[in-house]
Amino acid sequence: MPLLSRPAAASDPAGPTDNRRPRRRTALVAAAAALAVLGVGTPVAYATLGSGASPEPRPAVGAVRGQDYIETRLLFGTERPDGAPDVTDRQFLAFIDEEVTPRFPNGLTIQDGRGQWRDSHGVIERERSYELTLLYPASEARVRGRQIERIRNAYEKEYAQDSVARLEERLTADF
């Protein structure tokens, strides 16, 4: 038996009647309702081992924890251009105790290194070195910057160094 449909009039914006329309509309409404339920209140389950407590909440994707800090690294050479003996570990640690720790009592990191650089005569110089890392709140940058320059100047003067390299980077840190 053929399906009957009324002919579309020129003024009927819907066009010819399609008997499948009610089924298609019902399926679309059901799909939209399912998506709305999932989007609004997806249940969350936690699997735990041991205590049965919920896990620590994690920051949202893209969320950053911590505060703005400045990381300053100073590179200290140990050879003396005036021919005097190299700066020893004992001398360097005494320098840290006298010049750095009073200005940065909250902490610092020292690493041993090997470095090289080209001197003013074009000669490649290799020497044992130290890398000092200082971390401080960005809000203290002006005051800390002056303290760091005093440290650099003191080392250059005390151990006849041409320079102490300074590298800085702004970062986010959380303790």
- Look at residue 161 in the predicted model and tell me its pLDDT: 92
Predicted confidence (pLDDT) per residue in 41-69, tens digit: 444 333 334 444 555 555 556 667 899 99
Low-confidence ranges of the chain (pLDDT < 50): 1-13, 15, 28-29, 31-52
Radius of gyration of the chain from its Cα atoms, rounded to whole angstroms = 35
Give CA–CA dist 174/8, Å, rounded: 70
Complete edge-to-edge strand list for the sheet that includes strand 124-137: 109-118, 124-137, 67-77, 165-173
H/E stretch holding 40: helix 21-41
Residue that is written with structure tokens 């200082």 in the block: 134
- Look at residue 119 in the predicted model and tell me its pLDDT: 80
Judged on CB neighbours under 10 Å (0-12, 13-18, 19+), 119 is exposed
- Look at residue 8 in the predicted model and tell me its pLDDT: 46
- Look at residue 142 in the predicted model and tell me its pLDDT: 97
For 106, the 3-state DSSP assignment is coil
pTM value?
A: 0.63
- Look at residue 151 in the predicted model and tell me its pLDDT: 98
Question: Are 72 and 108 in contact, with CB atoms under 8 Å apart?
Answer: no
Sequence-ordered list of residues with C-beta below 8 angstroms from that of 166, at least 6 positions apart, any chain = 72, 73, 74, 148, 152
